[in-house]
Amino acid sequence: MALLAFLLRLAYEAGWYGPDVRPNLALGYLMPLGVPIVAFTLLAWWATRRAAVTIGDGVFVVPANPAAAGFAIIGANLLGELVPVAPPGAEPGIDGDAVDWTFTAVMGTSILLISIAVFVLRRPQLVLDAAGITVQHLFRRHTVRWDEIADVRRITRPPTIRLVLHSAAVFGLARESVDLAVGWLFVNPDVLQVVIDHYAAHPEDRAAIGTAEEAARLRAYAADQAAWA
């Protein structure tokens, strides 16, 4: 996608930009940025809908969504846009249009890189084993045992799976819960909800967690769900 952005920018420089032509924001910046991001977002969505779990050492792992890496590459490709330069043979100096151009590039790229930094700091990952679910971040982790889960609920915005726990009922009206931000994970949310609900309700099947046969079954289910998406 970064290569696509570079080629679009190169095409713009070769065909549209000259010493007597004012910079065009849409052609020179928005198109090289927007087209790769839209294409990559669609590709990441397609892959995520078909993702289930990966096999670890006797566990299932739901990794962080790799989309952040793609956005980081696209963002790094834009760093060259941050410095205004004069064409060969031109008088030294900074043109006012170049300053405006650079300000726009700085703002757009900064927002993109800040978003990536937030993702890296959270670094979500789920590890499923016979005991329960471990939610791992960059600096902390939290484990929920299967027998603690009373209910599994979906929240649309932001995309979340809420684990309602048996413990800590307050006058029978509220219970402790743990939220899994599925938008940060490389997994089909429908598959993850079914998997958690199944293992919470069927203790006898937890021993199959981490086996190739069970992983194949979950991946087939993910592919089937994606086909109906």
Q: Looking at the domain assignment, is residue 60 inside a domain? A: no
Are residue 110 and residue 166 in the same domain, yes or no?
A: no
13 has pLDDT over 90: no
Do 196 and 129 lie in one domain? The reply is yes
In-domain check, residue 57: no
| Boundary (domain end) residue, out of 85, 101, 122 | 122
pLDDT band at 132; cut points 50, 70, 90: very high
pLDDT at 212 over 70: yes
Residue 80 pLDDT grade (very low, low, confident, very high; cuts 50, 70, 90) = low
Say if residue 104 is in the same domain as residue 167: no
Query: What is the span of the domain harbouring residue 164?
Result: 125-227
pLDDT digits (tens, 9 = 90+) for 145-193: 999 998 899 888 888 899 988 865 555 555 588 888 887 788 888 888 8
Contacts of the segment 6-15: beta carbons below 8 A, 24+ positions apart: 6/32, 6/77, 8/32, 8/35, 8/36
Number of domains in the chain: 2
pLDDT computed for residue 29 by the predictor: 63
Residues 81 and 95 in one domain: yes
Task: Give the domain CATH number at 156.
Answer: 2.30.29
Which of 122, 141, 158 is the endpoint of a domain?
A: 122
Same domain, 110 and 151: no
What are the distances in angstroms from CA 18 to CA 22, 90, 172? 8, 12, 71
Give yes or no: residues 11 and 86 share one domain. yes
Say yes or no: 116 and 133 in one domain. no
How many residues in the chain? 229
**99 and 118 assigned to the same domain:** yes
Last residue of a domain, one of 85, 107, 122: 122
Residue 153, in any domain of the structure: yes
Q: Are residues 165 and 191 in the same domain?
A: yes
Give a yes or no: residue 59 inside a domain: no
Report which of residues 143 and 90 the model is more confident about.
143
Structural tokens at position 67: 């989309």
pTM: 0.63
pLDDT digits (tens, 9 = 90+) for 17-62: 555 555 565 666 667 667 777 887 788 778 777 776 778 888 998 8
Please indicate, yes or no, if residue 58 is contained in any of the structural domains.
Answer: no
7 & 115 share domain: yes
Q: Indicate the average pLDDT of the chain.
A: 74
Please indicate, yes or no, whether residues 218 and 190 belong to a single structural domain of this protein.
yes
User: Which of 9-13, 103-107, 193-197, 221-225 reaches the highest mean pLDDT?
Assistant: 193-197
Nearest partner of 51 among 182, 197, 175, judged by Cα: 182
Do residue 146 and residue 214 come from a single domain? yes
3-state secondary structure of 199: helix
Cα three-residue angle 141-147-184, rounded to 5 degrees: 40
